[in-house]
A and B are shown apart, each in its own frame.
Chain A
């Protein structure tokens, strides 16, 4: 009997532990625009008379084996640290294949197609929570070659650089470029992981940093200056009060506020929330859903909640 009780306690503890894991950010290595430009992997098109250049990742992956070598090496070393990366080449292929399948898909009974609005189309891009932006440059002085290597970890939603490692390797007369590149990755990855760990430590201490936008449908008839509640507070103040009560240590910045929009940055959301007596991983959608429900239930404001990955959410007030 005691054995069964003991085993049950262990099982319950394990389940509790499993549910209290924070959502693991996804990482993906992306060659930088500077690297793509330097190596001729750019697409050019005219946008209202202005020439716009965008990176041609597909061409880069098809034509540059050095890029694949570097990405593969970074992936191998990050996987050894428990962070396997999303492979951009595979993601691009999957996106292309899914698009083709969606176009071909029809309902057996009605012949209907898959529903997709312009926003859905825009969202179909390769993305990850943390982008590992990769740049390297081969320096040549006479017969000597060296490689300058830069790896930046960028938070996709705040746009902040959260980790980095860079340096120029020893010049060599004889070593081939792939060897120099491999050496650069091997020598820089520990420092990169160290700075990334600092970011994760901050995440666990102060919550996940996200961005929150409040917008207003133009047919609502009210705005963020409209007063609500018994104490006739402007809606913008009510929203700020809610954020102050629900963020970690009350931390957020009101970057912009007008009668029609509010932008909150550095909103620190907790990593967990409790449901049915259990801790579950919190994400931006879940956190913002709390505000959305509060506005709907307490102030009777219908609203629409949209999210962008793990780190950005918008509430549009005045309807669904």
Chain B
């Protein structure tokens, strides 16, 4: 049996495909890194859209990214980040809520914990889910120019579970601590 080696042309094609795949993965990583940076500088918006079931908030999060997919996925992280550090104001008759963090320096004081918590696939995912299968409404995809999108996604954050988790890790105090 004769072993058929690749021709020179096939080799170049294969190398090209390999190069494109690496570039694409790098670009995706870069977009994700950029989205994480936007989260870290609080560049997202969060507002309530409904009163969720007991122990949860239903919020719409507007995230910024060059990739619609990354923005949609980042919305989960932004929602949890927002509920821990930012809170949100009232929308119509839906009351606003205060942030779980009472100390503005909470992230800096627990940087190692939060870096791990918010890493890709981190524990934050346990407390958030996309509402309506993550579908983005027609008015919730805004092109801002310079290949940047602003994407609005409705998510549900299990705030009671999140609060208890942070309390159990000693990151925030429980209402009854000290008594």
A residues touching B (Cβ–Cβ < 8 Å)? 21-25, 77, 80-83, 146, 165, 167-170, 183, 186-188, 190-191, 193-194, 196-197, 200-201, 204
4 smallest A-B Cβ distances: which pairs?
A82-B176, A24-B179, A81-B175, A194-B98
Docked complex Cα distance between A80 and B164 (Å)? 9
Docked complex Cα distance between A186 and B58 (Å)? 13
Docked complex Cα distance between A64 and B174 (Å)? 33
Q: Mark B147-179, 1 if CB is under 8 A from A, else 0.
A: 000000000000110000000000001111011
Q: 5 A-B residue contacts at CB 8 Å?
A: A21-B178, A165-B95, A168-B93, A187-B51, A187-B94
Taking the nearest CB of chain A, how far is it from the CB of B161, in angstroms?
A: 11
Chain A residues within 8 Å of B174, by CB: 81-82
Docked complex Cα distance between A201 and B160 (Å)? 21
Verify A191–B93 contact, CB threshold 8 A. Answer: no
Chain A residues within 8 Å of B53, by CB: 186
CB-CB nearest in chain B for A146: B93
Verify A80–B160 contact, CB threshold 8 A. Answer: yes
Q: Given A21-B179, A81-B176, A204-B178, is A186 in contact with B51 using a C-beta cutoff of 8 Å?
A: yes
- In the complex, besides A165-B95, A170-B92, A200-B175, 10 extra interface pairs with C-beta distance below 8 angstroms are A21-B179, A25-B179, A83-B176, A146-B93, A167-B93, A186-B54, A187-B94, A188-B95, A194-B98, A196-B175
Using a Cβ–Cβ cut-off of 8 Å, how many residues does chain B contribute to the interface with A? 21
Verify B95–A193 contact, CB threshold 8 A. Answer: no
CB-CB nearest in chain A for B173: A197
Taking the nearest CB of chain A, how far is it from the CB of B136, in angstroms?
A: 24
Q: Mark B40-62, 1 if CB is under 8 A from A, else 0.
A: 00000000000101110000000
B residues touching A (Cβ–Cβ < 8 Å)? 51, 53-55, 90, 92-98, 102, 159-160, 173-176, 178-179
Docked complex Cα distance between A65 and B53 (Å)? 22
Q: Given A187-B94, A190-B98, is A24 in contact with B176 using a C-beta cutoff of 8 Å?
A: yes
Docked complex Cα distance between A193 and B163 (Å)? 12
Docked complex Cα distance between A81 and B55 (Å)? 11
Docked complex Cα distance between A146 and B95 (Å)? 14
Docked complex Cα distance between A201 and B173 (Å)? 10
Verify A190–B175 contact, CB threshold 8 A. Answer: no
Chain A residues within 8 Å of B92, by CB: 170
Taking the nearest CB of chain B, how far is it from the CB of A200, in angstroms?
A: 7
Taking the nearest CB of chain A, how far is it from the CB of B47, in angstroms?
A: 14
CB-CB nearest in chain A for B164: A80
